[in-house]
Amino acid sequence: MTEQTPSGRDEWRRMLEQMLGPEAAEEAMRALEASGVDPEQFASVAGMPQNPQQMAAAMSQMRQILSADDGGASDWRIAHDVARQAAHTGGDPSVSAADAAKARSVLSVADLWLDAATDLPPSGGQQIAASRAEWVERTLPTWRAVAEPIATSVADALATMMSVDELPEEATAMLGGVDIGAMMRRLGALSFAMQVGQAAGTLAREVFGGTDTGLPLLPEPSLLLVPANLHEFAADLDAPEDEVWHFLAVREAAHARLFAHVPWLRGHLLGAVEQYARGIEIDLAHLEESVRSIDPTDMDQLRSALSGGIFSTQHTPSQEQALSRLETALALVEGWVEEVTANAVAPHLPHHVPLREMLRRRRAAGGPAEDTFHTLVGLELRPRRARDAASLWALVAREKGQDVRDALWSHPDVIPTAADLDEPAGFLDRRAFAAQVDQDVDAALAALLDGELGYEAGAAENDGGTGVGPDGGTAAGPDRVENDGGTQGGPDGTTGDGGSGDGPDGDRD
């Protein structure tokens, strides 16, 4: 006799009983049916498995996540899995031996060409040909550092908005006394981490190397190329694929030199992100309005809202300052790399000019990953003023030499400012004027110090000040010891011979 397969309803009941217990499971099933919701349709809201057994496994994992107290590590393990899945969308071919060898070759040649275009030495980093999934593995820790403080703010905002009093009775019964605020905090942090993972995985399908965003995503200096993405990019261009590989390898190597030999730059960039994140506040009114605008029966609308910027942010003055500093620094990095790359490849690649323009247009257009990170984190990952920065770097190199250009990276206080990018042509004149002012101030200060030192030397010749000398003169030692004819009274009120002074009783001798 053939064993009868349990109905879908029975499977869902059994799964809910394992999760909630018999009574709460019955309440949950009644609530679903009363709402006209099919369990399989319910599962499709978030793309969850429709098979009840698979759903039970997923919900079991979810219970473990919600009860975890590991500082958010479980959230980012799931974000990691989401990122890898997104990176695999559309395929993620393994790096072939031929592509790995080609990547190492073009990166080695890139360093040779760059030696003539910049005074910064090679990074000395490992040469890597990575799959899209490997790019995720190597960069996600930095994405976590960038986004984790904001994820915490999002989670706290959701916990503030939600309370048990706002839930239907059926949902309250299902919770069984669970702290809804704490649960929403965990769900909010998890949701945000997963969205960052999704965006990182999407970005893995677009990047050419480890430095395309301008942020130092790799934890240590390395030269990394993603061959699958280089193949796809080159297929749509008129330039030969070898030229495309060489051009992009030079850009990657130029970035690597900058991050390796400008030790303050990584901290400057990520520090601006951290300053922004510390001050983040969630616009609760906007969040509530976004939730109210969602039709809960429209599954597509719900999914779109959850992934499309429901968590809007307000920028404080401190955050605006941090974002301005970050965008200026990103523009300077991109502009320097663009200018140095152009100089390095000009003698070798006939199509270097159209390739440069192609990347400029690509940067201006952005992409889904950049849009996602701007929505989630509020950061402009693509520098908007890179063209102005490239003009400034070219001017300095032309007028003063590439050694002076590269020396501007020596300290964050001497790099060009946002105001300099507003008018690149006047940068050298402004710096020359400022240097002259500094010289004038230094000269005036030196003259002032020389005058003070002269006064002190002359005063020292008097050997300790003025007073009454033994002959009634005015030279006295530092202890002000009075001799005959002095006017200082002794401890008993008497003076020296011929002197005068009041005694303790006020009488004169």
- Give the pLDDT band of residue 186 (cuts 50, 70, 90): confident
Q: Which residue has the higher pLDDT, 112 or 24?
A: 112
> What whole-number percentage of the chain has pLDDT above 70?
58
User: What pLDDT, on the 0 to 100 scale, is given for residue 77?
Assistant: 84
pLDDT of res. 115 = 97
- Angle, helix 317-345 to helix 241-261, in steps of 10 degrees: 130
346-400 per-position pLDDT tens digit? 999 999 999 999 999 888 887 655 666 676 666 666 677 899 999 999 999 999 9
Provide the pLDDT for residue 315.
74
pLDDT at 455 over 60: no
State how far the alpha carbon of 366 is from the alpha carbons of 85, 94, 384, in Å.
22, 26, 10
Q: Is the whole-model pTM more than 0.85?
A: no
Query: Do the beta carbons of residue 194 and residue 78 sit within 8 Å?
Result: yes
What phi and psi values does residue 222 have, to the nearest 5 degrees? Answer: -150, 160
Per-residue pLDDT reduced to its tens digit, 20-45: 556 656 656 665 565 454 555 444 43
Closest CA to 259 of 203, 334, 325, 206: 334
Q: What is the largest CA-CA distance in the chain?
A: 141
CA distance 290 to 312: 9
Res 139 pLDDT > 70: yes
Dig out the tokens for 83 from the structure.
């990122």
Q: Which of 78-92, 315-329, 426-440, 494-508 has the lowest mean pLDDT?
A: 494-508
pLDDT value of position 312: 52
The yes-or-no verdict on residue 466 having pLDDT over 60 is: no
Cα 204–Cα 184–Cα 294 angle in degrees, nearest 5? 75
Q: Is 282 helix (H, G, I), strand (E, B) or coil?
A: strand
Average pLDDT (187-195) is 77
